Structure 1
């Protein structure tokens, strides 16, 4: 009873308190009530203000973190790329976007380069930057060892050019180097058209150049100074005949100008050309030609602190021109690196290259004939000759920001996919590049990986595309300049790192490890899927009605069919497999360093669990592994008539828009192709997996992925096979053959063929056939067209997309060597 009273007494006390509060409120009157409302409104306003401030603070914080470098010590030690720490790599052909040029690995480097002009009606076409529209029938490095020398051939409408360079170490600034340009005409009548060669040297805001003239028109030499180079002399030797013994008659012109920026050098020269000059060889006909005259400036541009000095040589081919660069810090120089000395040095480097190539890849021992060995040498050399050194700022944006911001200044030493179309760094391409370069030069490859990891921000994000500096930006459409902080890219650098791991020095791995850990965590935190152990690429196209299937640029597979309606429920198979690989490599690095590897191994085991993999990604109706998401199989593109135009306005053109004929629902995506192969490509499937026979059968089916030229990217019986994605977007990863994925397939098949299991013999047979088909087609297409290509037709084998593409297509060298 006592307890019940206490309960009742408590309730009565609360009631009495409410009564007293009511009486007090009644005594206040209406004025006092309004005051309370005012106070309440003020409190709400303060709360809203605090919320607004909090929102702004969140945005500011996100922007700050977006452009804050990762706090770990740099993976690349400071000054490790300078002339004292790395003299043999200081100078190089690090300007992949020009047909021939050299610069140093310094942020504001002195640059040198070559332009040429076949004289003709209207002045001809000035060649400088690599452009597919130039229509050159062939250009590329035949030999290039990445350090000491290179030999390139260029064929331009009857003109044959050979560009050669050799470096010689010495002094404190990277030593000396020399160029030799050999020119001749092939298959042209008489008289032979005149040819002008333009050799230039330019600064970009630091350093000084002084011209040394002969007879007021011939630039014989340039002396100069630069912060990273000290003093130097650049000498332009007089042209000779092809025997290099007799002088060759030539006309000379020179240009001195304030540079409006390295990205506008072509425009400076083109705007300076005049045809008031006359070529007057002794005993020959007089001919008018175009030459540099005076530079009046470019519209809308103000001169900068940079200088440009240009030496023009006009001659009637054949002929040879040599250029020498001599560092002022070289003491006891044996001789000028020209003429016979240059020829001897080239011969020595060619012999050393051929011997090293055979020792590394063994193609001669494998029975490849000499033409195919030369093809493989050119593929490797084009990749090495496409190395670039870039400096500048990325343009980045967070989802919390309304406006993009500039990232901190950064430098990047990297290979590039294509000198003409993609002469800049791409994150997922670079891992494939380094698979090959790691075999040729492990030190070089380790350095490139460190450069990429040093681009990481404090969140652990690395922008997928690196557009650093004005020259790089000039080759990129504006809509692709911006990098979004939620967008990932496959961590293919880990493929190369795994290959380098056994021999990588421990101090190097110790510098990398904090950044690898941060990168790994960033993927896990930002790309997590809707269920545990699932993953989803962020950044799919946000306007699905514009596309037959919204693109997924983050995956690297662009328009490969995913769920028709992007949603948070998506599960992306390829990203899950990449994360299994990442867990494996992080565990191996940790174990080598003696760091805790348990969490990585646990994640690797979970992501490699074949039963869970089947549960999440096996599509019974497809008989293959697949993505999962909000998907409609009944979509198409149809022409939509525009609305009537306003009075006085022209009618708008019809547009292709997406039509959804069946409502989407959560299901597996009915697209059998490269994504379906990822459990095999990254070797997650056990050799005794009951799903392995179906995967191998799809690979060998001609109705699905098999062709005489390699594995196609999307099965012929898939609904979106070779379908356009928009009115202006032809199919890309919807049937074409891509060398990087075919290389992963060869690597996996080779492994399954050498591992005990019920599918061992079938894997071995597929491996032999696929390797033959891929290698034979790439060699045939290179012989016919002169280029490696971005991708290849699944119906004819012909090269498609951009060219030259000595990026991951150069992996054909490893396929020939059976080096996995």
Structure 2
């Protein structure tokens, strides 16, 4: 009987296994079939523009504006380049090289695309208004190259508009070569190439070498090129390029749009102001050279505005899926760094606009539907609730605002040796090793996130409503560490407490500004703006905020102005111990905020 029971169990178990195996095989086959079928028939979603008013539809951007802005120094990634704001552009550029250097061709030593690897001592726009004129100086070893629209006596406009001018007007550029001051005197040559091309009539790759003949400019102005281009309007507007030599190793090139009489570059000179942006007088107590640096920062930002046309790539599927192109569109934007980030960056653009608004007031709204605006207003109101912020992010134990989440401090950075590649090679890699179990708690570091209530001006300057001192919510559960809640300082005491933390040298306060891994000018500017707001409140909070503002502003300006005058550049970030500029340069993304900091424009 025992044997029969045993046999029955064996048979039943075997039968169940057959069923499970058969089911698993069928499921795997079905998954493979539908997965293959799905991949074969998958169609990416249709990407279409948002149906909402566009900035370009504002009345400020009418036909007159488009005509005035047709031409500009919109080839941001070059040391110097002009183009039209059209999908297929009429483009112009400059390159130079040492014809006596055997490495010129072998190592591609010609200067054309802006690159930190070229090691220029300095370069950047010293004056630029974003519309009609500008001057740029490039110091390349023994050579000092000045590209300007400035005459000997008066600033000159890059573009002029007359009755005989075609679309976009006429523009002129003056190129001056000189020996860099302090360099040894020896006979050296430099070759300069100026070119103009039409993207609407491209050449084959093997036909890109320039056409033309050597022209002696000593006998007078010369017509170098002429033609027609759809970039200048319907019907392929006519254009011509002229050059002339002027004294002191300079020559001018004049571009004429339309059928018109030839004239010299001197005809482009006007009486406009030459400050290129930040003008006026600054506080004489500021570091020497602050006005010069402020003008250069804003001018280089405006001179770095570029025009791009094409499709952005977005990934609509999961990881590993092929990116899909957006619809073709134009992008007109300032670039953070011509040598390192010669393209638009969203997180810089907001700070760019702060500077641009200081010069040009758009003056009207986008006219978004009320329903769309309402959603943003509701979100803004929720995020402006100080009582809720205290309940969620105020660490009573430490007296500051902090992130809350599943976290552990018991983490180490370990190294290990791996073998990979072809042929196989050994390399040492670092990896994070977590030794403790993460628990719900406050992140116990004071960082930029701790400054957000101050930056967003949510801290009280006077008496605070009782709701802001609401008690803490129920405990986050077993194992949670840290005391959340709002049972600590309230009213002006809370603000004074945060101002004291701001100036604690053991936290973010340094001789060169507020630090994280480095000194970043964007966050420092936002803190200065908030301190200026609280300084106007008066009382104890106002006095403390004003003192912190003046000291932080002084430290930042000494660091930024000192670096520019010593090294010739503004930088993406600054070392928090030495104040030395680091990373990409010239960087006039958010670092151009030095102009607003100097002028106290918040």
Same fold? TM cut 0.5:
yes
Aligned to 1:353: 274
Aligned to 2:72: 92
* Matches for 1:231-250 after TM superposition, within 5 Å: 231-242=237-248
Q: What secondary structure is seen at the aligned counterpart in 2 of 1:237? A: strand
Deviation sequence 1:423-453 (CA, Å, 0-9, x none): 111112100011011111224xxxxxxxxxx
- CA gap of 1:652–1:82, structure 2 versus 1, over 3 A, is farther
Distance in 1 of aligned mates of 2:378 and 2:241: 62
Aligned to 1:277: none
Deviation sequence 1:446-478 (CA, Å, 0-9, x none): xxxxxxxxxxxxxxxxxxxxxxxxxxxxxxxxx
Task: Note the C-alpha offset of 1:354.
Answer: 3.2
Aligned to 1:606: 382
Paired residue for 1:341, among 267, 272, 284?
267
Distance in 2 of aligned mates of 1:650 and 1:69: 47
Q: So what's the TM-score if we normalise by structure 2? A: 0.79
* Matches for 1:149-548 after TM superposition, within 5 Å: 149-165=133-149, 166-170=158-162, 171-186=165-180, 187-189=182-184, 191-206=186-201, 213=212, 220-229=223-232, 230-242=236-248, 319-329=249-259, 336-338=263-265, 340-342=266-268, 344-345=269-270, 348-349=271-272, 352-354=273-275, 357-358=278-279, 362-364=280-282, 371-400=289-318, 402-443=321-362, 504-505=363-364, 508-510=365-367, 513-514=368-369
Distance in 2 of aligned mates of 1:197 and 1:145: 26
Distance in 1 of aligned mates of 2:327 and 2:377: 35
Structure 2 spans left out of the alignment, 5+ residues:
1-22, 150-157, 463-490
Task: Note the C-alpha offset of 1:77.
Answer: 2.5
Q: Is the 8 A contact 1:788 1:805 kept in 2?
A: yes
Aligned to 2:479: none
Paired residue for 1:122, among 95, 102, 107?
102
Task: Note the C-alpha offset of 1:120.
Answer: 3.2
Task: Note the C-alpha offset of 1:411.
Answer: 0.6
Deviation sequence 1:756-814 (CA, Å, 0-9, x none): 56422111110111111111211111100111110111111111111000111111111
Aligned to 1:106: 86
- CA gap of 1:207–1:677, structure 2 versus 1, over 3 A, is same
Q: Is the 8 A contact 1:210 1:224 kept in 2?
A: no
Deviation sequence 1:519-538 (CA, Å, 0-9, x none): xxxxxxxxxxxxxxxxxxxx
Aligned to 1:638: 414
Q: Is the 8 A contact 1:178 1:337 kept in 2?
A: no
Q: Is the 8 A contact 1:628 1:668 kept in 2?
A: yes
- CA gap of 1:640–1:168, structure 2 versus 1, over 3 A, is same
- CA gap of 1:386–1:104, structure 2 versus 1, over 3 A, is same
Q: What secondary structure is seen at the aligned counterpart in 1 of 2:241? A: strand
Task: Note the C-alpha offset of 1:662.
Answer: 1.4
Aligned to 1:680: 454
Aligned to 1:753: 535
Distance in 1 of aligned mates of 2:495 and 2:304: 38
Q: Runs of 4 or more off by more than 6 Å in structure 1? A: 47-59, 78-83, 207-212, 215-219
Task: Note the C-alpha offset of 1:174.
Answer: 0.6
Q: Is the 8 A contact 2:53 2:366 kept in 1?
A: no
Asked which structure has the greater RCO (Cα within 8 Å, sep 6+), the reply is 2
Q: Is the 8 A contact 2:166 2:237 kept in 1?
A: no
Task: Note the C-alpha offset of 1:406.
Answer: 1.1
Q: Is the 8 A contact 2:229 2:239 kept in 1?
A: no
Paired residue for 1:692, among 490, 495, 499?
495
Is it true that 1:778 corresponds to 2:553 in the alignment? no
Structure 1 spans left out of the alignment, 5+ residues:
1-39, 243-318, 444-503, 519-585, 587-596, 714-733
Deviation sequence 1:216-252 (CA, Å, 0-9, x none): 999951111111214334434254441xxxxxxxxxx
Count of residue pairs the alignment pairs up: 523
Distance in 2 of aligned mates of 1:215 and 1:776: 50
Q: Is the 8 A contact 1:680 1:745 kept in 2?
A: yes
Task: Note the C-alpha offset of 1:651.
Answer: 4.2
Q: So what's the TM-score if we normalise by structure 1? A: 0.59
